[in-house]
Amino acid sequence: MGGDHGPSVVIPAIARALTELPETVRFLLHGDEAVLAPEMARHAGAAGRVTIRHAERVIAMDEKPAQALRRSKGSSMWNAVEAVREGEAACAVSAGNTGALMAISKLILRMSADLDRPALVASIPTPKGVTTFLDVGANVDCDAERLVEFAIMGEAYHRAAHGKAQPAIGILNVGAEEMKGHSEVREANRVLREGGFEMDYRGFVEGDDITKGAVDVVVTDGFTGNVTLKAMEGALRFITGELRAALTSDVTTKLGALVARRGLMRFRDRMSAPLGAPLLGLNGLVLKVHGSASERDFAQALKVAADLSQSDFAAEIERNMRRLPAALAEASPAPADGAV
């Protein structure tokens, strides 16, 4: 029921995804049956693989998480996450209110990692593919242990979502040298280097490495991740705005822009295709889809959800998480030098 477009995007996206997903994949559709049933009726081919579960209530996109949480029981979002806990569903997918989804997921599924709340992943396009970037907004204060947890979870997610056997991991910092940055990143760097994790850890990366694809997974605290992601989104909006103005500022370039239209569309598509963003650190899979996701975006997120559900995601995270206490204990204390 969530997102900017609700069932008018979600249901066609399910129909589209089903044509490409294995026969065994099925969907539970939570929400107002009076709205969902007529829309579903327009996609006869999907009918046998989609079950509508009526919910009395829907959480609004603009409700505050705390307020939403109080009145959330029995809502479509609540029921979707509860189905994961009950083992009825392998993964919950929502384009609804992010804060409410995080709060409800934490309450129903509980945290497996030692985090304040689930870590949120962004998928950033690069010339080589996609950078998995986390945490982008959930956990503002992160010590070295939390950064290492992000690395473990991000690594397993990237493998499951993108099929790369051994993703390369980096920690975001102000320089590549080991002595750079604050004590949390230097300590996390040491733990990941020396902790014996099953992971291709590459050390520190810088801000421009996110879109370069220097590594597959870029790890940072939720403060830096949130600000950086929004700054990149803002830069993209500014640039496309400037470009539009530049290309329509006189008749000649306007003509050029018309002819170049197809190329520009391809460019915009590539920049704006959001994969689902998993909520990591929960005892169960929850995928957040951008509220403005198109039918095609949402269908792609559903395929990621299916890939995650069929992967060894949770077991792989668990295996590296078991190394964590020993790795933290082994790591020598950080030197005091915080030099840039």
Q: Rule CB under 8 A: which residues touch a second copy?
A: 117, 125-127, 137-141, 172-174, 180-182, 206-212, 220, 222-224, 226-239, 241-243, 246-250, 252-253, 255-264, 266-267, 270-271, 338, 340
Spatial CA neighbour of 142 closest among 202, 226, 61, 69: 226
Specify the residue, 67 or 249, whose C-beta has the smaller distance to a second copy. 249
Compute the least distance from the CB of residue 202 to a second copy, in Å.
17
Compute the least distance from the CB of residue 128 to a second copy, in Å.
11
Specify the residue, 139 or 320, whose C-beta has the smaller distance to a second copy. 139
CA distance 294 to 276: 12
Specify the residue, 26 or 70, whose C-beta has the smaller distance to a second copy. 70
Compute the least distance from the CB of residue 226 to a second copy, in Å.
4
Specify the residue, 229 or 305, whose C-beta has the smaller distance to a second copy. 229
Specify the residue, 162 or 319, whose C-beta has the smaller distance to a second copy. 162
SS (H, E, C) 105-156: HHHHHCECCCCCCCEEEEEEECCCCEEEEECCCCCCCCCHHHHHHHHHHHHH
Specify the residue, 210 or 306, whose C-beta has the smaller distance to a second copy. 210
Compute the least distance from the CB of residue 287 to a second copy, in Å.
20
DSSP-based helix, strand, coil % in the chain, nearest 5: 50, 15, 35
Compute the least distance from the CB of residue 312 to a second copy, in Å.
31
Token digits of residue 111: 């945290």
Compute the least distance from the CB of residue 231 to a second copy, in Å.
4
DSSP 26-81: -EEEEE-HHHHHHHHHT-GGGGGGEEEEE-SB---TTS-HHHHHHT-TTBHHHHHH
Token digits of residue 99: 């804060």
Specify the residue, 35 or 223, whose C-beta has the smaller distance to a second copy. 223
Compute the least distance from the CB of residue 277 to a second copy, in Å.
15
> For residues 101 and 77, is the Cβ–Cβ distance under 8 A?
yes
Spatial CA neighbour of 212 closest among 247, 170, 179, 250: 170
247's enclosing H/E stretch is helix 222-247
Kindly report the CA angle at 20 between 297 and 42, in degrees rounded to 5?
75
